[in-house]
Chains A and B, each alone.
Chain A
């Protein structure tokens, strides 16, 4: 569903992402992890078409994000770490706007289900200024899910959520994966990645340094019985 092939992103002469390739199939939940400045955000932004790759190709459901951006983006949802809402639209109006942009025909029942699932009930007519940060995050996620995207990208999805919200968010991500969506989760919370991801891609200094299931990574690193955190520290320390 998501294919990243030889992606390179340059900022001037700085190489933020360097010849990165990986794929995410339908039903897979892939954790994209790496130290600060590793190139995770640049990778995510390139995948969702926010910024153009300097080299390489990215396809979503077979559609090139550069050559066919509209068709590719129609299948995508990106949940940024910092929810950016329109300060003058209510929660329900955010969903209506998103529904129209993505041409969602049966919006009302879907919106109602999402509001219930994300515990936004009673907040439909609230403006973002009346919501907590966690609530804003939920609104952004509801907007991302309302068009049933085939590919989902979460950037630090647990930021600002309370323990119950964290549990529900994890359930949402896993259930979307089980429903057949291709999911990428970028996070520094390695226990979250270990818990919900079916595969992990570790990048460091813009290049891929490990790719596989947690069990495969442990085996590759010859750290059987250890955990993802140990592997991550070993791999990124070795590379840097």
Chain B
């Protein structure tokens, strides 16, 4: 049976490679591949080939060499991180997943005359290619100095990843087994969690004994060093031993050190393997359900979370189609973001702002909140459009339906962009108002109250006018890229893989930046001319009017761009979107 699984794995891998190579015949994938490969070369390989600088005095050390400077601290931190992973696997609710199989694996392998053990072997075998690839990438990033240390890092990382994989499977199977247990079910279900909590408590108690000394230490490095000393002996040492053994492998300073740690690591792997195989749990049903959910999430990523709620406004039977599409997209947001939660959040924010106003005159909390508001405004204006995908990018998955609607492409685009633009603008406006409220309470600037208020209002009004224009232009550019290159964008939750896909994403990002600069240049130019003219005649530096002019220019550009993109959308072939991987 091992041969069959190997055949399936090898054939699958080979054919995937073939498909990816074959699609390079298409220029869009070839260009993406060239860009992606160039990035990989310059990001990893070029540095690896020129790592001699690390050995020169004053040269920039490789990441592995930089880690080596910390001595025994690095394996210790790595072992604590592995322990943390082991704890989270039991305690974190989101980690309670069954063993994942694809839908085709469920359909072909589950009804086949295979034992559960054989299915587990298949999963282990199947995962090895990804684990080796991941280890290789990590090795390239770490850039070991010699060929021998490259091998020890590669093999060490691979063994660590296999151990993590086996442990995850063991946790999943043990959970399933305990869930199916009969008598004493409750006790048995909580027993592993109690053991994990006990282990954490043991480490905590060990550290707690010397808490006074630990809290008196000057820096985190000293604290970590002291913890390493305390947790390397006694019960704590025993608890962390398996993790320390694993962590030592990829970080071994020499081949002999690696070989010294190898027997212990292999023993841990063997024990984990035995644990996985002895867990007699029926995972098939949970895995089949999971496969269906994963497949469904690629088409409709948020179906399960949706719930019926009131619509944002009632839609009249006739009127502009844009409003109907906006209505639809607003409903989508409402179904996944609770309005009640937003109101609660708003109340909390205002309460905190009010408290800061009364409790702080020259900084403190008000300063912190104002900075937070400024950062949020910047983030939403600059990357909000990339994050909120509740627009055409989401609906391209349903292009078959959209194309049958009796509306122009430009109308469809305007409708699709309206909801995210409105939502992002509303959030930014709220933050701007909060920012304006907070500024005088920490600025402490001299001058009349009237002057300060006027200044605030001017800058606030300018920001309020510019924000929607900046948001809109980004939405137009990102959706425009989706319209122009539909096969290059991710639809729903699916993500294309491979070097060519990575290259495509890099190109898209570059295209976005160039388009933004091109779109904003005319607006900046016109606003500059207006501002300079006012200053020339009045000797007053204007803020509001140039901002209004800039916003108007950007919005006009967006309108023209949407009209042009709409024509492209009208000509877009559904197959060009469906052809994505």
Question: Chain A residues with Cβ under 8 A from B321's Cβ?
Answer: 100-101
Least CB distance, A201 to chain B, in whole angstroms: 21
Interface mask (B299-320 → A, CB under 8 Å = 1, otherwise 0):
0101110111001000111110
Asked if A129 and B303 sit within 8 Å, CB to CB, the answer is yes
Asked if A51 and B573 sit within 8 Å, CB to CB, the answer is yes
Question: Chain A residues with Cβ under 8 A from B323's Cβ?
Answer: 100
Question: Chain A residues with Cβ under 8 A from B399's Cβ?
Answer: 50
Asked if B400 and A84 sit within 8 Å, CB to CB, the answer is yes
Cβ of B571 within 8 Å of any chain A Cβ, yes or no, is: yes
Least CB distance, B293 to chain A, in whole angstroms: 11
Question: Chain A residues with Cβ under 8 A from B336's Cβ?
Answer: 88
Cβ of B407 within 8 Å of any chain A Cβ, yes or no, is: yes
Asked if B331 and A93 sit within 8 Å, CB to CB, the answer is yes
Least CB distance, B572 to chain A, in whole angstroms: 9
Interface mask (A12-47 → B, CB under 8 Å = 1, otherwise 0):
000000000000000000000000000000000100
Asked if B404 and A73 sit within 8 Å, CB to CB, the answer is yes
Asked if A105 and B318 sit within 8 Å, CB to CB, the answer is yes
Inter-chain CA distance A127–B300, complex, in Å, is 13
Interface mask (A49-65 → B, CB under 8 Å = 1, otherwise 0):
11110000000000000
Q: Which residue of the partner chain B has the closest CB to A102?
A: B406
Asked if B575 and A51 sit within 8 Å, CB to CB, the answer is yes
Cβ of A69 within 8 Å of any chain B Cβ, yes or no, is: yes
Q: Which bracket fits the contact residues of B?
A: 35 or more
Cβ of B515 within 8 Å of any chain A Cβ, yes or no, is: no
Given A88-B336, A100-B324, answer yes or no on A127-B306 (Cβ-Cβ < 8 Å). Answer: yes
Inter-chain CA distance A204–B323, complex, in Å, is 43
Least CB distance, A52 to chain B, in whole angstroms: 6
Asked if B401 and A84 sit within 8 Å, CB to CB, the answer is yes
Q: Kindly identify which residue among A70, A72, A88 contacts B306, using a CB–CB cutoff of 8 Å.
A: A88
Asked if B303 and A93 sit within 8 Å, CB to CB, the answer is no
Cβ of B405 within 8 Å of any chain A Cβ, yes or no, is: yes
Cβ of A80 within 8 Å of any chain B Cβ, yes or no, is: yes
Cβ of B20 within 8 Å of any chain A Cβ, yes or no, is: no
Q: Which residue of the partner chain B has the closest CB to A49?
A: B403
Inter-chain CA distance A84–B492, complex, in Å, is 14
Q: Kindly identify which residue among A50, A127, A128 contacts B574, using a CB–CB cutoff of 8 Å.
A: A50
- Total interface residues in chain A, CB < 8 Å: 41
Inter-chain CA distance A51–B332, complex, in Å, is 27
Cβ of B328 within 8 Å of any chain A Cβ, yes or no, is: yes
Give A168-216 interface residues, CB cut-off 8 Å to B: none
Question: Chain B residues with Cβ under 8 A from A78's Cβ?
Answer: 404
Asked if A105 and B317 sit within 8 Å, CB to CB, the answer is yes
Cβ of A48 within 8 Å of any chain B Cβ, yes or no, is: yes
Cβ of A116 within 8 Å of any chain B Cβ, yes or no, is: no
Q: Which of A51, A77, A104, A107 counts the most chain B CB atoms within 10 A? A: A51
Inter-chain CA distance A104–B405, complex, in Å, is 13
Question: Chain A residues with Cβ under 8 A from B575's Cβ?
Answer: 11, 51
Question: Chain A residues with Cβ under 8 A from B306's Cβ?
Answer: 87-88, 127, 129
Question: Chain A residues with Cβ under 8 A from B332's Cβ?
Answer: 86, 88-89
Given A52-B571, A78-B404, A80-B400, answer yes or no on A88-B331 (Cβ-Cβ < 8 Å). Answer: yes
The chain A residues found within 8 Å of chain B, CB to CB, are 11, 45, 48-52, 69-74, 76-78, 80, 84, 86-90, 93, 96-97, 99-108, 125-129
Contacts A84-B401, A97-B327, A100-B315 known; 13 new A-B pairs at CB < 8 A: A51-B574, A51-B575, A70-B407, A80-B400, A86-B328, A90-B308, A96-B317, A97-B324, A100-B316, A104-B317, A127-B307, A129-B300, A129-B306
